[in-house]
Chain A
Amino acid sequence: MKKLVSAPALFLWAGAFLIVGLLLAFWWAPVDASAMGFSQKIFYYHAPIAETSLVGFGVAFAAAVMYLRTQDLKWDRLGYVSVRLGLLFAVLVMFTGMIWGKSSWGVWWAWEPRLTTFLLVCFLYAAYFVLRSVVEEEQRRATYAAVFAVIAFIDVPITWFATRLIPEGLHPVVFKAGDTGMEGSMFASFMISMIGMTLLLAALIRHGWQIELLKDRVTDLKSILGG
């Protein structure tokens, strides 16, 4: 069991799910009946990436709370790695969203609530790194980063809600309450891609976190040897 969830195994699981999801999305799920047609296939990547990005920020939020409670720097490292990956995925959301937008709405950019929210999310979490870079003292940097990660994560749903206040209807609402709006084969392919992407995030966070902890250990050992 332990081997099945080790770091390399997680990568393998993620890869397997993502490849199967890709194959199913293109060969099993039908071409979308609406005007979006074939371009809807990008949805099997776009939406899981978006979900994964938010999961990354969620992990960072949890790590920030843990850090503020325990003052243990290992949680700061987890938060740092999660925000880094969340931001990477958020940037990918922007790119895949723009490609989809161009093919289905005919424009590269539309001020649509979800896309706008992700743009702001990118700015927010870019600021997280600016904040980290201007505080020298280790413990204080971790504290400020944690406080900001908490505020930023709370702000994300509020931003999404606010951008919806302005009436807009461009984004294809694929999930509606009580009705998934998708055929079974589409839904299954989508879920497999989603699980694959989430596993990829888990593997990357785990890997990155281990590297950060090793770096800390090296620094500690160096100071012991040098001092």
Chain B
Amino acid sequence: MSGWGQIGAILRKDLIRELRTRDMLVSMALFALLAMVIFHWAFTVRGDTDLTYFTGGMLWVTFVFAMLLGLNRSFAQEKDEHCLDGLLLCPVDRVTIFLAKTVGNLVFLLIIQAVAVPVFVLFFVEGGFLEGLPAFLAVLLLADLGICALGTLLATISMNTRSRDLLLPILFLPLIVPLLVAATSATTLVLADGAGVREIGGRLLFMLGFDAVFLVVAWGTYDFAIGE
């Protein structure tokens, strides 16, 4: 089986497993929607508070925390049922496992976003969203890729430790801050100031660089992270 075939096989396994139970997707989606409602009440200090300049922050805090839920879940299942041992026994390159897992987490995050973003727009964005859609999608994809690549690597490490899901946020959040800074400010520029791809080009480039750097680093270190 070729490398792409192997990635596809692992990905298909993860998707089938998740679609059978749906517990991860349902909790992630509900969490994302709940977070938005909470944010609305947390930031509305007066009846007429303008939340437009909080949109980037609300969106990315929501997705990062939703992803933390999902990442923990996706590896807990592997570990509990000893699926990972089986996976490691297969004649598959470790890097292939990393790529398949990253793509899997990316697919889950995109599914959540397909549900949560329209609701978010309905709640917080006052028109003009469609003009900014290309820029918004560019930010979304670049930030998602970085979150999933770094998240997959760190979730693999934390799953193999004693404290498991407690450890992941502590490792993940400080590392993801640069990406969050760029994604948040770019999203706010698009949603609040109607900026296009050109205006946020620098930030997009930065996110692209971040993704590239950590994909390469994860590529190089995943062998060590997943263990023997």
Asked, given contacts A159-B177, A165-B203, whether A131 binds B213 with beta carbons under 8 Å apart, the answer is no
Task: From the candidates B157, B173, B178, name the one contacting A161 in the complex (CB within 8 A).
Answer: B178
Complex Cα distance A147/B222, Å? Answer: 9
Q: Which residues of A contact B185 (CB under 8 A)?
A: 165-166
- Which of A37-45, A120-128, A215-223 lies at the interface with chain B? A120-128
Contact with A along B204-228 (1 / 0, CB 8 A): 0010001001100100010011010
Contact with B along A147-161 (1 / 0, CB 8 A): 110111011001101
- In the complex, the answer to whether B157 meets A162 with C-beta atoms within 8 Å is no
- Which of A78-86, A92-100, A136-144 lies at the interface with chain B? A136-144
Q: Which residues of A contact B214 (CB under 8 A)?
A: 151, 154
Q: Which residue of A is nearest B228, CB measured?
A: A140
Complex Cα distance A81/B173, Å? Answer: 24
- In the complex, the answer to whether A120 meets B224 with C-beta atoms within 8 Å is no
Complex Cα distance A7/B170, Å? Answer: 36
Within the complex, the shortest CB–CB distance from A147 to chain B, in Å, comes to 5
- In the complex, the answer to whether A120 meets B174 with C-beta atoms within 8 Å is yes
Interface size class of B (residues with CB under 8 A): 20 to 34
Asked, given contacts A161-B178, A165-B206, whether A134 binds B161 with beta carbons under 8 Å apart, the answer is yes
Is A68 engaged at the interface, CB distance under 8 Å to the other chain?
Answer: yes
Is A33 engaged at the interface, CB distance under 8 Å to the other chain?
Answer: no
Within the complex, the shortest CB–CB distance from A82 to chain B, in Å, comes to 18
- In the complex, the answer to whether A131 meets B177 with C-beta atoms within 8 Å is no
- In the complex, the answer to whether A150 meets B217 with C-beta atoms within 8 Å is yes
Is B2 engaged at the interface, CB distance under 8 Å to the other chain?
Answer: no
Within the complex, the shortest CB–CB distance from A136 to chain B, in Å, comes to 7
Complex Cα distance A127/B161, Å? Answer: 13
Within the complex, the shortest CB–CB distance from A131 to chain B, in Å, comes to 7
- In the complex, the answer to whether B181 meets A154 with C-beta atoms within 8 Å is no
Q: Which residues of B contact A123 (CB under 8 A)?
A: 173-174
Is B140 engaged at the interface, CB distance under 8 Å to the other chain?
Answer: no
Q: Which residues of A contact B175 (CB under 8 A)?
A: 124, 151-152, 155
Contact with A along B175-207 (1 / 0, CB 8 A): 101110110010000000000000000110010
Q: Which residues of B contact A165 (CB under 8 A)?
A: 181-182, 185, 202-203, 206
Asked, given contacts A131-B157, A131-B161, A144-B161, whether A155 binds B221 with beta carbons under 8 Å apart, the answer is no
Asked, given contacts A150-B221, A158-B210, whether A127 binds B181 with beta carbons under 8 Å apart, the answer is no
Is B49 engaged at the interface, CB distance under 8 Å to the other chain?
Answer: no
Complex Cα distance A131/B161, Å? Answer: 8
Is A170 engaged at the interface, CB distance under 8 Å to the other chain?
Answer: no
Complex Cα distance A161/B224, Å? Answer: 28
Within the complex, the shortest CB–CB distance from B41 to chain A, in Å, comes to 25
Complex Cα distance A135/B159, Å? Answer: 11
Most buried by B among A124, A134, A146, A158: A158
